[in-house]
Amino acid sequence: MIQNELDNLAVIDMDAGEIFSGSPSGRIIKGFATPCGFTPNIDLDYLFHDSMREVVVWLLTTPEERADSLYIFGPTGSGKTSLVRQLAARLNYPVFEVTGHGRLEFPDLAGHLSLHNGSMAFQYGPLALAMRYGGIFLLNEIDLLDPATATGLNGVLDGGPLCIPENGGEIINPHPMFRFVATANTNGASDDSGLYQGTLRQNIALMDRFWLCEVGYPAPATEELLLERVASSIPQDTRKGMVLFANEVRRLFVGESDTQKHGETIEVTFSTRTLIRWATLTIRFQPLARQNIQPICYALDRALGYRASRETRAMLHELAQRMFATAQATTNTP
């Protein structure tokens, strides 16, 4: 069934403006006529932020112009993976996705022999599928890969074919719609903070083959809109306070808050992922308000606080008490 869908993928021209902003722009972007089993579902709550522009410019490069591969880096939970998925969903691109780790090897990407109905058959991996049928090969956490394994991708990143010795020396030439996107928390030059454990400095020749794109946390107005969509029952002032709180924690994490001494930092940060969790848990724990437990602080511990040291947690509580002391109600519902 899925094989059939992949065989029948048809490339079409779309109007980029119509797809991403609702009004025609005359800029043509290539996409696929219909989604297939590998196309991500559209998330209607997803809000495209400023960083999206850069990825769209990258996608606008026609197959003849052959864009470099894209390396998206930025802090955890800022929306890197979901940005690629959601752009792909709008263009009906199949996404062949894999998450990097220290023991990932080339056959995990290209494919391997496996037992099928009593005999050995070759199973294509995500990279081989993307190169063969067209679509995005999304390699998440590329900086966790052993640099020697990652460097094995150089030929493919140069636009060359994929050679699969395990499948009788098959050679797969890249489909014109093949796209390669890597995401990571570091820029490939290792992690200064020591918090992204397991990341490795990548080979400079590998990194030289990428167009780099940094995705930071969305602007406050975007995160406020996001909370309005996912947690509309929380009053607007409180939602705004939550975004302010998240940004203060981000400043404390990088040592840029007015309230801390030079060189002092905390060990946790507030991702967009955590912010959404905090808001949804606040709604779930709303009944605790009847027992004089403030849902917003209770949810904060479950969303973030328990990951921090005792001192940081106490500091987060104190900050939350100060910022939300005047919040009369945590949700609009009785």
Ligand X SMILES: Nc1ncnc2c1ncn2[C@@H]1O[C@H](COP(=O)(O)OP(=O)(O)OP(=O)(O)O)[C@@H](O)[C@H]1O
Binding residues for Mg ion, rule: CB under 5 A, are 80-81, 140
Shortest distance in whole angstroms from residue 250 CB to ligand X: 14
Residues with Cβ within 8 Å of 318's Cβ and at least 6 positions away in sequence, in order, are none
Query: What Å distances lie between residue 93 and 39, 75, 181, 286, 294, CA to CA?
Result: 6, 25, 13, 40, 44
Segment 189 to 228, residues that bind ligand X, using CB under 6 A: 218, 226
Q: Which is nearer to ligand X, 82 or 187 (CB)?
A: 82
Residue 185 binding: pick among ligand X, Mg ion, none (C-beta 5-8 Å cut-off by kind): ligand X
Shortest Å, Cβ 11 to ligand X: 26
Q: Which residue is nearest to ligand X (CB)?
A: 79
Could you say whether residue 331 binds ligand X (CB under 6 A)?
A: no
Given the structure tokens 């990279």, which residue do they identify? 127
Helices and strands, counts by H and E, the chain: 14, 11
**Of 85 and 179, which CB lies nearer to ligand X in the complex structure?**
85
**Which residues, 6+ apart, have CB-to-CB distance to 165 below 8 Å?**
none
- With respect to ligand X, which residue has the nearer C-beta, 77 or 295? 77
Nearer to Mg ion, 182 or 315 (CB): 182
DSSP state of 197: T
Look at strands 28-32 and 11-15 and give their pairing: antiparallel
Question: 299 by DSSP, 3-state: which?
Answer: helix
The number of residues in the chain equals 334
CB of 8 to ligand X, least distance (A): 30
CA distance 160 to 153: 10
Q: Which is nearer to ligand X, 23 or 41 (CB)?
A: 41
The span of 146-154, 200-208, 270-278, 325-333 binding ligand X (CB under 6 A) equals 270-278
**239 sits near ligand X (criterion: CB under 6 A):** no
Give the other-Cβ count within 10 Å of 44's Cβ.
6
Question: Among 79-87, 107-115, 165-173, 309-317, which window interacts with ligand X (CB under 6 A)?
Answer: 79-87
Interface contacts to ligand X, rule CB under 6 A? 45-47, 49, 76-82, 183, 185, 218, 226, 272-273, 276
